[in-house]
Chains A and B, each alone.
Chain A
Amino acid sequence: MSSIARLKIWRGLDRQAGRWETFEVPFEPGQSVLDGMRWIRVHRDPTLAIRFSCINANACKECMIELDGRTVYACTARLEPREMTLAPLSNKPLVRDLVTEIAPPAERFG
């Protein structure tokens, strides 16, 4: 059975001037939400900004986003064949799309 995950994603550079975009992603059991986001970048829209480093190991802890209003690591949250809402962390300064400023102040430039 082929099914799809509908990822409704917040996009923008400014919290006040953002927009929601929905992408349909082919779903395979076992995939992570990060897999879905990376699929979108390759197959639909390379301009989608996401922050991650280790891809799958849950070692870098960089891929935190809000999934349906809950804070998750995109690499361990399972992709599901339904609509899923992805937003940047609401308690961190927005950088772009799903990327927020999560580094401690002493580890930032400027």
Chain B
Amino acid sequence: MAHDVMQAEADVLVIGAGAAGMYAAIEAARRGADVFLIDRSLIGRGGATVMAQMTVAVALGAQVPDHWRHHLDDTLAAGRGLCSEPLARLLCQEGPECIRQMDAWGVGWARQDGHIAQAMAPGHDRPRCVYVDFLNTGPAVSKTLRTVVNKTNVRKAGDLCVVDLVRHDGAVAGAVALHLASGAPVVVSAKATVVATGGLTRLYRRNSASGNMGGDGYALALRAGTPLVDMEFVQFFPIGHLAPRLVGMDPIMWDPFRYKLGGRLLNNQGEEFAHRYGTAEDGKYVLTRDVATFGILQEVEAGRGSPHGGVYLSFEHCDEAALRAAFGPVIDRLAANNIDLTQMPVEVAPIAHYHMGGVQADARMHTEVPGLLVAGEAVGGANGANRLSGNAITEALVFGRRAGRSAAEAAQRMRAQALRLEDACEALDLLAADAPDRKINTAALVQTLQATMADDVGPLRSEAKLARALGTIEQLAGQLGARPAGDGQRFDPVRLDWLDLRNMLLVARVVTEAALRRTESRGAHQREDFSAMLDTWDVNQIVRLRGDRLAWSTPSRATEAAQ
């Protein structure tokens, strides 16, 4: 079914309305740009921000004296030698300003004795993480930014799923999107485009983010000619909820419980096991995410796992009053799910949570391709091989603000829109596809890909698993075909799955190839066949798309620092 092409234009196009995208839109508008903020879901509701449960790391010095350099030291240490220092530095240095701005906008950071409360989180040298009670950090951040966006003249639209960025003379000049609510293609001309589409957790069976985070931004950037970095480093959140079945709660909900109450991580013998992997817990929550994930999977492998294939997390030593004081209404929600923490442990297991890799950018958030900027989790490099607890929202705010500023400046330097409709013809042709007879079960293909990524490209990897995954990915790409399936009418789930799979399969291939190439273990990337961390791998892997081929390089980090 053919639709008329709709058109829109703006100085700055922001793709993705999580914290990074909304902050970018606010900042660009504040600097005078005409901004169009779009999201494939609804504004401020999709993505990962709304799912954040608790911590936002920032050297405010409100709880105890602190300095952004201490936060930077911890961030670099967690990144196991691979962080981009300029990006990590930006995150830590500008974090306090953004957090105070959010406070002024009324986000409601939890207070203690008249100051903003800061909790201790694993990997930090002091209490540094601000939060909104109870498990409400993400919703509060999203709602606050959405309210601020609504006070600006930013134009916004949900249900717009970007299919491809459009280039003119080598620069990004806008994007082609599918308007889900009508099924019509939309061409957006923009003087600067900010990709703030978040990460790739949807590639995995069990994940902690929204169902629409399938790595869109990475695929868009690759096809627009800009490189990605560190794509092998997928962060698994170690204690994602596994059992008993729980509705209406985010699976990463146990993190706040551990911050406030410690909790005991136990195997099926009732033993604490963290000490076997180098860090004894002693009732405190000190295990970094990479070590905890590794430890839990080793216990399961050794036959000491829980019935559903994880380990136990127990708060049975806490009394009802302590639980209520710390988590109030959440305790009632647990009761509605028949969970009484004073009487029973829960089962937890690693769950795909965040992507350290992403689009390579400088500290102004510009990519290599003119007109294309990135923000938030879509940016690669700030967190190296493992992200510190609490850095994701900080990164979204700081990088979003910076990208908004840079995009407004870039737009001011351009006199006119560069995009011509003929630049968009390839993407428009894809959306014009009419193949009602092609019967493929796109939802089943997504599920197969998620199973493959979880089983073969999860936290514990090997050459055999990764090679098998590449084979499956190639096979799935063959089944997907070159032309979209579906009827192309409004909110066509098959068409949307097809377009998503086109991105997901490309990104899955990138992650898997990167993991296969890195023949060592470091941070979130653990190879069963190469268990040591090697000095020779003290490099970042960069990937570009050349035709249909992935082109890899590993520039020395000295070169990167000099840039």
Contacts and interface: CB of A to CB of B under 8 A. Distances in A.
Interface of A: 13, 28-32, 38, 41-43, 46-62, 73, 75-76, 78, 95-97, 99, 101-103, 106-110
Q: What's the dominant secondary structure at chain B's contact region?
A: loop
Given A46-B493, A47-B493, A55 B181 contact: no
Contact of A54 (B50, B180, B442, B487): B50
A95 B211 contact: no
B553 interface: no
Nearest to B139: A59
Given A53-B41, A96-B490, 7 more contacts: A30-B246, A51-B491, A52-B211, A59-B139, A60-B42, A95-B491, A96-B489
Contacts of B443: 38, 41-42, 46
Interface string B413-452: 0000000000000000000000000000111101100000
Contacts of B411: none
Interface hub of A32, A42, A48, A107 (most chain B Cβ within 10 A) = A107
Interface string B184-217: 0010000000000000000000000011100000
A30 to B, nearest CB: 3
B250 A56 contact: yes
B493 A41 contact: yes
A107 to B, nearest CB: 5
A57 to B, nearest CB: 4
Interface string B39-55: 00111011100110000
A75 B248 contact: yes
Given A42-B443, A46-B493, A76 B248 contact: yes
Contacts of A62: 41-42, 45-46
A96 B497 CA distance: 16
B62 interface: no
Interface residues of B, number: 51
30 contacts: A29-B245, A30-B245, A30-B247, A30-B337, A32-B247, A38-B443, A41-B493, A42-B441, A42-B447, A47-B492, A53-B45, A53-B46, A53-B210, A53-B211, A56-B246, A56-B247, A56-B251, A57-B51, A58-B249, A60-B42, A62-B41, A95-B490, A96-B490, A97-B491, A102-B42, A108-B158, A108-B181, A109-B8, A109-B160, A110-B157
Given A30-B247, A109-B159, A96 B444 contact: no
B556 interface: no
Given A32-B247, A103-B159, A109-B186, A13 B493 contact: no
Contacts of B249: 56-58
B244 interface: yes
Contacts of A54: 46, 50-51, 210-211, 250
A108 B159 CA distance: 8
B138 interface: yes
Interface hub of A50, A54, A78, A102 (most chain B Cβ within 10 A) = A54
Interface string B232-265: 0000000000001111111100000000000000
A88 B294 CA distance: 44
Nearest to B183: A96
A9 B337 CA distance: 26
